[in-house]
Amino acid sequence: MIECGGGSVTFGQQSINTIEEIRRKRKLGTLLQALNATSVFYSIFVKNNSLTSSFYVTQQDFFMFSKAAKGTGDLVRNLIYRDIEMLILTTGLQGEERAFWMCMKDSLR
């Protein structure tokens, strides 16, 4: 894990707003992952009747679930990366605050 020195940085209002947006996107990403898991398990175990579901559950079902779950994480990471990049490009961040956000951006790639 990359250490970006968050303990010693004084954040301006634009950085605080970006931090809140990142928190919101992480919460939504967690919700999306939970919904994804629920829909896959519903498809596997409820859509098929309980007597035959064991015959229809394949490794492919769980591979698809794993791939979708990973994709959700990638989506959220890319959205957060974009927010940080826009903050860096559109504001006059300087010094430790700018270094912090550059470190955070680099840690997401």
**Boundaries of every domain in the chain:** 12-107
End-to-end, the C-alpha distance of the chain in Å comes to 12
Give the pLDDT score at 87. 94
Angle between helices 59-90 and 95-107 (to 10 degrees): 160
Give the pLDDT score at 2. 56
More confident residue, 9 or 40: 9
Rounded Cα distance between 89 and 50, Å, is 54
Full-model pTM: 0.69
Give the pLDDT score at 32. 83
